[in-house]
Chains A and B, each alone.
Chain A
């Protein structure tokens, strides 16, 4: 009975707070609605008629010039206009959301940073939890409703003009859901900082400090690690979750909606719940008298000071290294100055500086440990090489020296023309070939170790060797080796001794087949052929047998290295280029293609076709074209 009454009271207090806070923020909601309306539906409404007209003209020009076989459909053209619009409208809307998130945080939670307002609100017959959650929900309502309504209006406008989502990487509704989620995370993050801080200024400084400091520190850490540990590399795009994990204001600006990013929204939901729970618990424990102090709880100050000290130190260290080879001096100077500056800002003076130096000691110890781990090879990361029998396949890129003249066919699109893989990578499954790759990698590792160990910071140049072993147990091992410059002489370290070994990999037929999609299509996938020579361009639609002959000829020439840029540069006997146009939807026919498109399940397309410059007359392709009469 008592429990029920208490729960009823809490609910009543929550709704009272929610309604009051909402009423107080209705002006902000109206302003946000107006601004986001101007950013999205209004511009769409005004621009769409112009797009339809321009797209029609563009489509007609394709048709009239006879290029319609390679051109996009009218819908695709209109959609591309829409996609370009979204690329501007979405960042603008999300930036507005960020700004309003910060403003609302100040408006709704700054009461706990003023002793007089604390006297009022904490003496009210409203529990702290309903007071906090009521305001949090009101803030989210103010942020969400304008966004949802405007997205709805924009969708109605889009549909009324018949604009489809052909070339759009993520539908607006999905974009909206993402924006709502990350806005919720950002607002909750602000709430957490407001609860931990004693003043509104400290709240803002903390929000900005973590959101800027954390991603920069992770990026600097990754940069240093990549510069020290041989084979270590980071694909920043696929590490966006780690880079922005504690910085929702940074994450909101990252256009990250991809099929592979399911973990991303899950993380933000989890983090939001954690931050909300922590805020609620801490607010219960927060002393009213901490208003107008620097911090109610010292944790954020400690974290932010560490983050910024590390950023200042590593950042300045790298700057000094690039201009005067003074990494150590840079890191010490940068970190000490940053530590003093952060402490002075947070403590409004230097009175606590001496006491704070123990936290500088923590940073110094962590950095030394971090650098030490990297310099000694990151717990064996540098020398780890799998046994060939444990490897199912290996994706290899042994440099881009043997590029097919004309570019070949290396990019895979989805059926809706979204890029799935911009450059396909060879995949080796033969045990003998896998062993060859492993042997080469071992030689590369030996070279790195013999050059300098413990490792030092190196400036890298172009790619030397990239391998990804797909293990039989489902795991994978990825290493990315680069050419690099000698730390003392500044000269590019020679890898001459290994060029032949690398060449041996790039000559493996299985490797070559992985460099061009022409090996992974069938004759039925070919739509037409455009041949360009000195007399102009001609389009042909060969029969099935001719298509197969063409595929065979191209494959044979590529395997024999007769279409490579390096092999044709000295033999400019002809000036012919051939473009093989493919149908829009091509089924995924083999494991190689599957390995190149990740988790994508549908049919693929090869927009732009396969482009080959047939410069040598001793190629099978040249002879076939002559035989077919395509060169007349």
Chain B
């Protein structure tokens, strides 16, 4: 389990992580989303033991990863721009990683090389962005880490490779209990892949929840009301977002479907229904509710 307690990280006068606290259960597929500069990459690097925290703690099964080889041997980090040793081939990178990762599995590496369409003797620097990510993924899966940290891993991968990635990850999670953290802006990819979601913004955590719980706990209501009552008439609904066009009202409301419909029906609507929310809509609503400037947030 990963525990984050008041984690703080500064870069000169800028606070990248501001006393964030949450936990990530073992064996989960955790999606980390947020605006640009929210602190997602900083969080992953701190978790990978690259950065030392300026305050608070980040614990992997109770131990801090910074300068802790034992913890790091159970973590594998793929950065947003994976780095490879200059002029190295995949075979050479595999040789390099096999020396330092104790769980390196040669057989698994060879299996993955046959699954991902990549030349092991080809120089990685000559490969495309997507191929380089595939090379990084092969090494990561062959290292068999307990915690796989990936930053913007979907960038550059074609749809087939994305599905392959999801399949391999899911298999490792189910077979070995691997915990996966993915930082991404691609909410649609995360929506059908992750079971937990955390939203970071400006160094703070807006929420961290199970995806199902998140989606079930917030609903979009569309209703036609004649005449349109005052907004106070919707009390005590926990309204996140309101849009009124004539007699049509759209609401994003926190709470159970039955409870919401009971309240709406009490206002004698001409028409009323509950619509499913995409993950993207959930985030937009939550962040608007938090008072964030949408123009500069989700992209």
Contacts and interface: CB of A to CB of B under 8 A. Distances in A.
Whether chain B is bound by chain A comes out as yes
Given A127-B67, A128-B67, A288 B45 contact: yes
A117 interface: yes
B114 to A, nearest CB: 25
Interface of chain B: mostly helix, strand, loop or mixed? loop
B49 interface: yes
Given A119-B79, A123-B75, 9 more contacts: A116-B83, A119-B48, A120-B82, A123-B48, A125-B69, A125-B70, A125-B102, A128-B67, A284-B67
B234 interface: no
A287 interface: yes
A26 interface: no
A117 B81 CA distance: 10
Contacts of A122: 48-50
A124 interface: yes
A20 B11 CA distance: 32
Interface string B191-235: 000000000000000000000000000000000000000000000
Interface in B70-91: 70, 72-73, 75-77, 79, 81-85
B227 to A, nearest CB: 59
A125 B67 contact: no
B116 interface: no
B100 interface: yes
A13 interface: yes
Given A20-B96, A124-B100, A128-B67, A287 B52 contact: yes
A289 to B, nearest CB: 6
27 contacts: A9-B70, A13-B69, A13-B100, A16-B99, A114-B83, A116-B83, A119-B45, A119-B48, A119-B79, A120-B82, A122-B48, A122-B50, A123-B45, A123-B48, A123-B49, A123-B50, A123-B77, A124-B100, A125-B69, A125-B70, A125-B101, A126-B72, A128-B67, A284-B67, A287-B52, A288-B51, A289-B11
Interface in B134-187: none
Nearest to B75: A123
Nearest to A110: B86
Interface of B: 11, 45, 48-52, 67, 69-70, 72-73, 75-77, 79, 81-85, 96, 99-102
Given A119-B50, A126-B69, A20 B77 contact: no
Contacts of B67: 127-128, 284
A14 B97 CA distance: 15
A114 B76 CA distance: 19
B50 A288 contact: yes
A140 interface: no
Contacts of B99: 16, 19-20
Contacts of A289: 11, 51
A132 to B, nearest CB: 12
Interface string A275-291: 00000000010011100
Interface in A77-120: 114, 116-120
B100 A119 contact: no
Interface in A104-163: 114, 116-120, 122-128
B55 to A, nearest CB: 14
A127 B69 contact: yes
B76 to A, nearest CB: 8
B83 A120 contact: yes
Contacts of A119: 45, 48, 50, 77, 79, 83
A126 B102 CA distance: 11
B81 A118 contact: no
A125 B48 contact: no
A124 B102 CA distance: 11
Contacts of A19: 99
A125 B83 contact: no
Interface string A592-632: 00000000000000000000000000000000000000000
A19 B99 CA distance: 10
Which of B72, B81, B99 has the most chain A CB atoms inside 10 A of its CB? B99
